[in-house]
């Protein structure tokens, strides 16, 4: 990532809207902007770390549903570069392998910290857990507010988008799916 280029782009943007980039409140804004963007899109290139990062424990006989709820995240809409603010509920049913509980929020964070759409984010989380764990099933529910819809466009302040991805037994068994979605509320 080219921090200097981001700083220059920010300065051009500010000047483009008629701001004086030399005034006290804006002098450091290009630098802060560049570092904020570096953090907000730090999820690129992290896939190679997933296998290493995803500590799993084999030989466990636990075969019931495991759910992590209220995983807060922030992402950026790839269409408008505005924030998506939401939470994820992620569940799986193990097949001899479980994952460290903190690893599920880390997976959400890796994919959220890039330009996204909510549908893709939901699928990426589910597919990664399938790949890492080979579980009996995975389910992901994401609820999020899109600032591209609340700050501009239709201006619907209380709108929440929900997306889900179900794999394995969650797709095949309506009772298992219903149990997960009941827990996610």
Residues with active-site annotation = 77-80, 118, 146, 148
Rounded distance, CA 147 to CA 42, Å? 20
What's the token pair of residue 82? 């505005």
Neighbour count for residue 117 (Cβ, 10 Å): 15
DSSP code per residue over 86-136? EEEEEEEE-SSEEE-TTHHHHHHHHHHSSEE-HHHHHHHHHHHHHHHH--S
Alpha-carbon span 161 to 145, nearest angstrom: 6
Contact 181, 136 (CB under 8 A): no
Query: d(Cα 66, Cα 124) in Å, to the nearest integer?
Result: 19
């Amino acid at each position: 990532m080219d921090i200097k280029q981001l700083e220059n782009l920010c300065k051009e943007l500010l000047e483009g809207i008629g701001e004086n980039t030399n005034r006290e409140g804006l002098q450091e804004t290009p630098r802060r902007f560049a570092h904020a963007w570096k953090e907000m899109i730090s999820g690129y290139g992290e896939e190679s770390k997933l296998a290493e990062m995803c500590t799993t424990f084999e030989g466990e006989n636990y075969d019931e549903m495991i759910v992590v709820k209220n995983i807060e995240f922030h992402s950026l809409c790839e269409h408008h570069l505005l924030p998506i603010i939401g939470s994820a509920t992620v569940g799986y049913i193990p097949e001899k392998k479980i994952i460290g509980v903190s690893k599920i929020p880390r997976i959400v964070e890796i994919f959220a910290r890039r330009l996204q759409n909510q549908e893709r984010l939901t699928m990426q989380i589910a597919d990664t857990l399938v790949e890492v764990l080979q579980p009996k099933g995975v389910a992901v529910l994401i609820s999020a507010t899109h600032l591209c819809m609340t700050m501009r466009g239709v201006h619907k302040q209380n709108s929440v988008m929900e997306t889900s991805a179900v794999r394995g037994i969650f797709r095949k068994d309506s009772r298992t799916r219903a149990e997960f979605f009941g827990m996610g509320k």
